[in-house]
Chain A
């Protein structure tokens, strides 16, 4: 039993330990959902400067796009809010197959 499933509570602990070990870290948080979004508001994803990540904001649908954006957030230090949903072009590309819509806040841990 060594497999660890990351839960939202240990994502914040992971963010802290990554930052304290000198890695550059961004934290993504689901701040709003509409329809059948796969992960609830408050769900976290932690990302480092090399694109390593733990946790989830959508159960796999848009993590790739969030990680990409997080690398930019780490680079310029500016927080941003991303929106994914069935109606926009990004969603068409990265896909929320469940048909929901989510907003994700991505911030750097300083």
Chain B
């Protein structure tokens, strides 16, 4: 692989843009197709199909064998609440190769001391999310218990293609949340996307266990169950 091709591949990934590297198996010739250029490519149909599956793989076109290295944007979690659960979640998410962005306008909570090596935004969620953009490779998690902070984030998430939306709180808290969201114009189909109570039902008690339950649910939504019940 030519180093400029490798560098371009890494640049596209860092910018959350899909790309496909095409390697011709017979002679090792390579070229990079950016998402915006796929439609005009001779291999458009096959490249597009592979990208939609989000999977690298061998393909054949007109008797020629190619390997497609598919780079779908990196999955990430956008969290409102620089709270105890998100402190536990940040290092766990890192091990899972999930990027984390934590939003909390309360600067007493959102400190680099409490959140080393995490992207911290001390803005209100609606402002912060405008800058981030939520896409189909983003999970949104509301953890503050404070409607002033969580609700604007949830509303932005429900208007987006986020693959996962979750909100912390008891059934009662969530009931009141649904009333507010309905009043704000979100119907049952929209609010039905919210995972609440949040997380897999593993009886989580501590902040780290709740973080594990939430991350388990996010991974499950991202990858889908692979084993069916016997």
Contact = CB atoms under 8 A, between A and B. Distances in A.
B97 A9 contact: yes
A107 to B, nearest CB: 6
A41 B70 CA distance: 10
Report whether over half of chain A's contact residues are helix, strand or loop; otherwise say mixed.
Answer: mixed
A7 interface: yes
A29 B67 CA distance: 10
Interface string B68-86: 0110001000000000000
A67 B228 CA distance: 37
Contacts of A19: 3, 6
B3 A42 contact: no
Interface in B8-27: 9-10, 13, 23, 25
A42 B1 contact: no
A41 B25 contact: no
B58 A32 contact: yes
A66 B57 CA distance: 19
B67 to A, nearest CB: 5
B28 A42 contact: no
Interface in B181-221: none
A29 B166 CA distance: 35
Contact of A15 (B6, B57, B74, B97): B6
Interface of A: 1, 5, 7-10, 12-13, 15-16, 19-20, 27, 29, 31-32, 40-42, 79, 81, 105, 107-110
28 contacts: A1-B91, A5-B97, A8-B97, A9-B13, A12-B6, A12-B9, A16-B3, A16-B6, A19-B3, A19-B6, A31-B56, A31-B57, A31-B67, A41-B55, A41-B56, A41-B58, A42-B55, A42-B56, A42-B57, A42-B69, A42-B70, A105-B23, A105-B25, A107-B1, A107-B28, A109-B1, A109-B6, A110-B3
Given A32-B57, A109-B2, A110-B1, 13 more contacts: A1-B94, A8-B97, A9-B74, A9-B97, A12-B6, A13-B10, A16-B7, A31-B58, A41-B57, A42-B56, A42-B57, A42-B69, A108-B1
Task: Give the 10 A-B CB pairs with smallest separation, nearest first.
Answer: A42-B56, A7-B97, A79-B28, A1-B91, A31-B67, A16-B6, A19-B3, A41-B56, A109-B1, A41-B57
